């Protein structure tokens, strides 16, 4: 069975360029489809652009969503014993309410929950249950090796976490259960990837190659055509200009804490309604987390830990800012 080619369409500069290059036959084969994972929190400029872009493409665009990311962040949860808590699924900047220490939420899940998993779910639907079942039977030994390696990684992570709370011996050493070393099952992985059911195109450019990550599913193989062509983000913009296309907007949730100073300024100046929504969202987050039992710090959207409507967005940045330097999954903003 030949794999289907699915373009992960973020509706930003790189993935839009990739989609139009594919439409022009400059990247082959022609994708079977494109998938846009909608967080329902993109600026209006992105949705307007996507409406236009769909009309330029000879292949369909599926819009999928898990729901509204902003609403999910603000939704209060109650534990079985009555404690109120909020999920911490955005990389907020924080100030400890007691010590005043600054930090950032590291354990966040917005990209995984609202981008990656909806695309995987749609890809599974496009391939079909039978094809995946047959694939799993065909690669049963490889999957067994892969699952064993995943279990090893999980145990290794737990051992590292346990080391922080382990009981010291009289020697001062820690009692840390450590799993037996298990090497990466390269042959099993390569066998499954060679027989992948889906080739997922991701529009990461050469200047952001650090964001390249392997697929979470062995039956999905990642491909990065923009990197194959040695194109940077600027080269993508140049390609759009030379082919007489308008410049795409930057694709990212309007409240994303990874925004650079320049992007916050652009949002304020060009999409004032979205900027005000971000201001109000930050205040709502601060209120919800203040009354929760699992958050002992104040959350901010800007790295300065100053309320967004008080940040001097016209100031000149004194250090290099990379919008996606900490983006762990390589699925946002392209």
Q: Is the pLDDT of residue 324 over 70?
A: no
Residue spans of the domains in the chain: they are 4-139+195-310, 145-187
- 214 falls in which pLDDT band (50, 70, 90)? very high
* Residue reference for tokens 């055509």: 225
Per-residue pLDDT tens for 18-39? Answer: 999 999 999 999 999 999 999 9
Distance CA 279, CA 277 (A): 5
Contacts of 276 (CB under 8 A, 6+ apart): none
CB 311 within 8 A of CB 264: yes
Distance CA 80, CA 82 (A): 6
CB 40 within 8 A of CB 68: yes
Label the pairing between strands 93-96 and 102-104.
antiparallel
Contacts of 36 (CB under 8 A, 6+ apart): 9, 10, 11, 50, 61, 62, 63, 64
CB 62 within 8 A of CB 27: no
- 99 falls in which pLDDT band (50, 70, 90)? very high
- 44 falls in which pLDDT band (50, 70, 90)? very high
Give the pLDDT score at 327: 53
Contacts of 316 (CB under 8 A, 6+ apart): none
- 83 falls in which pLDDT band (50, 70, 90)? confident
Per-residue pLDDT tens for 150-164? Answer: 999 999 988 887 776
The CATH code of domain 4-139+195-310 reads: 3.40.50
pTM for this structure?
0.90
């Amino acid at each position: 069975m030949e794999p289907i080619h699915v373009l992960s369409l973020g509706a930003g500069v790189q993935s839009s360029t990739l989609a139009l290059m594919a439409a022009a036959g400059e990247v082959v084969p022609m994708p079977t489809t494109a998938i846009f994972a909608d967080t329902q929190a993109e600026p209006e400029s992105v949705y307007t652009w996507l409406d236009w872009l769909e009309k330029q493409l000879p292949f369909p665009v599926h819009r999928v969503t898990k729901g509204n990311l902003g609403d999910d962040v603000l939704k209060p949860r109650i534990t079985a014993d009555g404690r109120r808590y909020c999920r911490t699924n955005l990389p907020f900047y924080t100030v400890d309410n007691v010590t005043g220490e600054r930090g950032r939420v590291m354990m966040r899940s917005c990209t995984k929950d609202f981008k990656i998993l909806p695309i995987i779910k749609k890809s599974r639907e496009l391939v079909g249950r039978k094809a995946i079942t047959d694939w799993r039977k065909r690669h049963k030994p490889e999957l067994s090796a892969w699952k064993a390696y995943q279990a090893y990684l999980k145990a290794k992570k737990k051992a590292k976490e346990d080391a922080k709370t382990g009981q010291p011996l009289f020697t001062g050493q820690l009692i840390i259960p450590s799993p037996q070393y298990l090497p990466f099952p390269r042959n099993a992985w390569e066998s499954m990837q060679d027989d992948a059911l889906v080739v997922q195109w991701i529009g990461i450019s050469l200047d952001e190659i650090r964001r390249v990550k392997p697929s979470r599913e062995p039956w999905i193989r990642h491909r990065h055509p923009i990197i194959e062509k040695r194109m940077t983000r600027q080269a993508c913009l140049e390609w759009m200009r030379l082919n007489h296309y308008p410049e795409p907007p930057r694709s990212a949730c309007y409240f994303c804490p990874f925004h650079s100073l320049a992007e916050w300024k652009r949002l304020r100046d060009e999409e004032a309604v979205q900027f005000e929504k971000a201001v109000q969202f930050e205040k709502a987050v601060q209120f919800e987390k203040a009354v929760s039992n699992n958050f002992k710090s104040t959350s901010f959207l800007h790295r300065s830990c100053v309320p967004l409507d008080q940040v001097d967005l016209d100031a000149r940045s004194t250090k290099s800012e990379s919008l996606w330097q900490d983006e762990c999954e390589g699925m946002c903003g392209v």
